[in-house]
Each structure stands twice: as structure tokens, then as C-alpha cells.
Structure 1
Amino acid sequence: MDPAAASADGGVFLEFVDYAIRMLSSSFGGDGDDSPGAGPAPARPPWGWAVAQVLKSCCAYSSGVTAAILLSDLFQSWTEQRKSLTAKRKVELTNLLKTRNRRRRLPNTITIDSIHEKNFLSPKSVLEAVVIDVFVIPGTNIYMLTLGDTWSMSTIDLYLHRRYYNYIGQHGVLKKGREVMLTGCCLRTAMEGSGHARILPTEYMVMLLDEDEDEDAMLLAAQFCTYSFSSMMLDENRNTISYSFYARIEKIESLEPFGSTERKQIVLVDNDDAKIKFVLWGEQVLLANLFSVGSMLALDRPFIANCVHNNHEESQELCLEYGSATQVYLVPIAQQEEQVLLTPTQIRSQGSRPSCVPSDHMASQVSLSRDLHGSVDFSKYPFRVYVSDLHDKMVGVSLFGTVTSVCKASVSGASFYLEIEDATEVVLMKLNFIGLWYQFCTYATI
């Protein structure tokens, strides 16, 4: 090799290292509060560290490497380096997640910690996360999101799909603190590049809105309350209008494949009780993993088409599809509780069963969690039976009914008789308190 050429190549390499250090320093040179990993960590990476990381990335990409790839890897490595030197990011994540509303995890939900542990991410997996930071990779126009979740101590970065770039900005919806759900993800494993796992861009992401937040409520009122399904169906110029709809998810079901293409439909009901089908095709069916019956769906600019029947023929019935410009927001159903009022004891006498009227017995309430359909949720309880199904030596069962009578079974007050009535029959139950009734649990015999 010509010594002069080698010297020139060395000069270009050193110039790039200096350029990369300047870019990283400027990225972390703000006030610290909005920068990833802000805290006592140094803002300028050491020269030797930068050289080592550039060489490592060059070796990882044997088929060739660009300046953007090198800057991306350097930025990720330096971000992780700073995270290890400060605990502020973890404190910030914990405080931010404490303000989030608790919801039931979706069936395919995984945690960020499990992604790092297994170094694997299935496209069918669901990630329920909160945006910790939004930033641009130095020297590029590529947006990244730093995501965290309620169940993990670590975070992970996501290359943002360009269909969401318009939702970033000073008053954008996609910003720090926003909850998102995403699926159809692929992992750039830790064996490549910077040595830190990242999620590659996915177009199957929904942003969660909270109707109790003023900003989100104003967005819903301003953008999604103008049109209804009925008005769209009657409008002859519907193909030239950018519609936005707000409706409740009534049903999620699979359709027969169109040839070899998988299909799913989500039945939506708007405030006027008009219904329409939101049809997903091919890989889009993954989006249905993010939805739950009872939640509210805000659809921005859906594609309007004619429904295709199982015989592959179009009908006059209109449906909505997930087009290239469509954006989806979700107002998830909250994990509600049903208040069950226990009324004052009523006089009741059946055969040898004791009855009593404790005048000092005050009405009370018991909170029972509800499922996504609004019914009482028994998923956290043992197997539920009805009174008519009870027989000797049954264990691990759960009864749900109305307490119709309560009285003491002993002078000490350590046990009580309860009459419980459900839709089938009435049963007498003896409650035995272990220790003081307000301090300890009980066991019951029927």
C-alpha cells in the first residue's frame, strides 16, 4: 500500500473520530433534564473510548459501514455508558410510571427485561410501554424513542417508523410520558453494532389517550367528534375527505382468508349506535393484538373501501381499512371495580336455620374487580360454583351471591352464620375468625 494513501486514510479516520466526539458532546450538552441519561456522567466521551467503539463497529459490519451507522452505534454506546454512571434515569422512570393508570396486561404482553434477558423478540409479542425520551441520532434525521415499562428496571430504544414522525414536535402527541402499545416488532440484537439491543421500526403502534387529561380530551373533542359512521356513508364525496372517527370496540373476530391472506375485523360502534367494520389484512392482523373489547378506538384517516365477502366479491357495504396514512389512538378500558352493597340483615327463617336482626349492623361495600366485558372478574379466584352445585368435600371453590342474613354463632363473637343467596339457591355458611376479626383472615365452612 502506498504510504501516502495510508496516511490519508488515517487522517480521514481521525477526522471522523473528532467529528463524532463533537456530535456526541453537543447532543448531551443541554440542561440535562431532557437528555437521555442526564446526570453526573461526563458529557464528552474520551478520545480513546471513541476510537475503540468505531473500530468495534467497523468489525461488526463486514460488508461495509456508513457514517450514519457509526454515529448511531456511538450514540447508543455512549448513552448506555452514561446510564451506568447515574441513577437519575431509573428514578425518573419509576416516578413517571407511578402516575400511569393501571390496566390489565394484554395476553401477548412481554417485558423489556425479558427482551434483554432472552435477546429475542417475537413479532406477535405486545409491548406496553411509556415513552421516556424522544431524540434524534446525531448527524441524521432518524428519530429514536427510549421506552420503559411498569414491570422492568431497564429501558430499550426503538427506531421510530416514519409514519409517526408528524406526531413529534413542540405540541405533538408522541412525546415524553406518552403511553404506547406496539407489536410486529423485530429486534436488532446485542450481537451487532454497539452491543446494545434495539427495536427496529414497526408500523403497528398505537398511542394511548386518557380522557381525564385535558390535553387528550381536547384532542379527542377537536379531531374525532366531527364525523359519524352514518354521515360518512351518506356522503358521496367521502373519498376526498380525511375522516376521523371515535368508536367503541364491540367485537374482534377472524375472517376466512382471502386466498392465502389472513384477515381480521373489528366491529366498531359510534355514539349514534351506528356500526362499521374495521378490516385488517395480512400482517396488519397483528394490530388486533393491541385492542380489547370495550376500549375506545380513535381512527385518524382510515381508508374507506367496500367489504369483500368470502366469495372474493365486493359488496356495496362500506368498511374501514388500515391505510398508509392511518393513525390509531386507543382509550383503553380501565380495570374497574364493582361496588356490591351489603344491605342490613333481613328477618329470615327457614327450618332449623338461625335468623337474627342485628339492628346495629351497618351496611358495607365490597369492591370486586371487573373484566373487559364489565362483568365481575373471577380470574384471580378459585373455581366458581353455584349453590346448587355444592356437594360434600368440595375445596377450592368460589361463591358469589347476596348476604341475606348474619348472626353470631358463638358468645365470644369468633364465628358467625351467614346466609348467601345466588341465582340458584340459598346456603348457610359458618365464618370462623382466627384472632381478632379486624386483624386476621377467616376460613369458612358450608
Structure 2
Amino acid sequence: MDIFKSKPLKLASAGFYILLMIVCFYCACYQLPVGVKYGINLLVVGWACLMFFIHPMFNRAIFCLRFFALFFFPYLMFWIWSVAIWISEFQTFNYILRGSLNIFYMATNILFAAAAVYLFGEDTMPLTLAGMALANGLVALQVAARAGIGTFISEYIRLLITFADDTGGAMRQMELHDMVYGWGVMVIYYAIHKEKNHKTQAVCFLISMLFFTLGFKRIAVPAALGAAVMYHCLCRWKPKHIRALANIMALAAGGCIFFYLWLIKSGIFVELANELEIDLMYRDVIYTYFSDFFELAPSYIGRGIRFIYTYCTEDPSYHLATTALHNVYMETYIEVGFWCWWIWILFELSFRIHRVEERYTEIPAYALMVMNLYVFFTYLTDNTLFYYAINVLYRMAIMVWCLEVSENGNLLDSETRSLAAVKESRQKKRNKKREEENVEGDFHICV
């Protein structure tokens, strides 16, 4: 189903969207003021609202709003909890406003993803990729022009051969943190999502791989590879109890991450890294400094969202050379405390998967599980919780996948069953369970 009925209007709209994406992701390449991309977010949201009034598609609008709520809930929880902390500490209005800005920016990111899917449906991902590639390609041309094409290519080859151990000046300029993690999402998406046109899928995958390796973050490579392998394993294994699997994985992941925080706080993590001669790249200093800022106990309620950045930029006693922890788990725990931290982990890794599996069958749920693996892996060494590209794209990818299932009743899953057949089978199981419960109840009455 298309919002844009006429072909010329559809092509013009696609071209305008790609142009907006070029500007948006050129901003994510640190070439434009940071607020530009958030302005474009709101522009696309306004565009979607206008098209809804002109040609409303109620089912798709409800679909997009449902996913907005599903994706925004953790950030809303962080903000409400932080407001309570700020009020209890009698913080100033300016302090509260600064702390709230990141939540507002993330709201515009998720609204933008929902609006783009409403406007372009299944075409959203390739159109977004086109804008990303042109923006990142423009930066690559600028870097190659300054360094020389020969130097650019030779440094790129050395980067690949040495697994980013030998990084020249040109490749350092291509290490665009915000973009490279977004390209990782694209690599995973086109590695696991079956497009109607296999040639288009191959081209999109190769483009994504090119820019993903140009930026080359070592933590992202095993994360993307592991996500793709995990998806294909799930599709072959076809676990019957995906909810139980998601619950077990969420609890196991939460426990391991909590243990990781304990290792950091106790100083064992830094000691082990030093003994193994692992270069933590200044993280040992940061972790040691902030390890006294929190307690690993249910009584620890946090210090409010954005506390770390505010403390690092405004407290005169702070003397380190960075304003971020480069560890999302530690930073989030310090800011929102024990209970919010655990709710966030379990909601992301368990509850959201339940909702997707219940409404859109197992395959999109598998996709969400592997995207979670990729995103949560990047949290170990970088500040990707609020990065633009990765947060927009992985949510957009899941929404597009679920929309395909929702709007195509004859879409087949890995077990070659249509969505209607899957829903019918589930309803039969529910009816059978009710009948068994009724029979058991009648038996007890008779007894």
C-alpha cells in the first residue's frame, strides 16, 4: 500500500526524502551543526502528519504509533525517574532542562523512524541507505582529495589487513563513530532480510560493507558477524518456546553485565586488563574515577539522566580529558539506578521481543533479538545509547520487517506458513487449552 498514489509524486517524494537524508547523515558525519538532523526529524514527522490528513492510512498510522510507544518507553521511564531525583535534590530549571534534552532528541529520532515508515513503507530502508551512502561518500571524496587517492586506498587496505591496528591519517578522518555503527545495522539487515530483488539486496549489502569497513570500529565487527550468525541459527533451530528463550537470555545477559559492573567497581577488571597487557585506551582511568559514584545495591536510586556529561563539563574538580564513560551500562546505571537499570535490560531483551513475536510471528522477533545483540555489544565500549544513526536505523529495520508481515497476508515465514495460518494455528491452540481447562474444571465439580 502506497501513500503516494501517482508515480511522479512517488518519485518526487522519494527524491526529496533522499535529499533530506543526505543533509541529515552529513550532519551525523560531523560536517554540519548537530541540531540540523533533529530539525529534519521534525520535518519528516510533519510531512507524515500532512499526508495522513490528505490520504489517511489508519492501520499503518496505528502500527507506527504502537512501535513509537514500544521503543520510547525506556527513555520515558529514564526521564520520569530523573525528574523525581532532580526535584528531590532541588535542582534548578536549567539543570533539569539540560538533562531532558537527550530524551527529547531521542523522541524525535524514534518519531522520525515511525514517520518514514508511514510514508514509504517497505521502501524506507533502501531510500535511507541511498541518503546515507551519498552523505558518507561525499565525506570520503573530501578526505581522498586532501590526502590523495593513492594514500586513501593504501591506508584502507592496511586498515583491513591489520584489523584497524594500523590506521593512517586519512582513515582516522573516516572513523565517523555515529555513522559506522549505523552501517553495522545496514550490514546485518541486508545479510538476513530477504529482498524481493536479490541483486538489489546484494548491491545494498556491498555498499553497507564498504562504508562499514571504511569507518571500522573493532567492537562492531564481531557484533555484526555474531548477529547475522545468530539469526540464521535461530531460523534453522526454530525454537518452539521463543518467549522462554528471550526471558532466559535477558536474565543471563543482565546477570553477566551486572557482574561486569562489579568487576569494574572492585578494580578487578582494570587489574586483569593490565596483567593481560590489554590497552583500555584511557578507560582504566575513567572507570577508576567513576567507580566511587555508585553502589551495586537495590538502595541505589541513581543521579538523574545526563549527570555524567553535566558533571564532566561543569564541576571544577573534574580533571580528566573526556566527558563520557565509553560504557553505556556503567553510565546508565550511575544515572538511573538499580531498579530502572534492570527494568531497561529486561524490557529491551525480553518484553519487547514478546510483543513482536505475539503480533508479527517469530521471524521479526528473531531479527529483533539479533539487533539487540549488536546494539548491546556496542554498549560495552562506546556511548551508542544516544547515537543518531544506530538508534534510528535498527528501529526502522524492525518496523519495516514487521510492516511487511502486517500488510502482506500471504507473506511466508521460514516454515512456509502464511501470517493468517500462523494466527489460525495459535487460536486453535488457545481454544484447545481453554477446552482442557473447562474439562478439568468440570471434573473437579463432579468430584
TM bucket normalised to smaller:
under 0.3
* TM norm structure 1: 0.21
Structure with larger Rg: 1
Question: Greater strand share, 1 or 2?
Answer: 1
Question: Greater helix share, 1 or 2?
Answer: 2
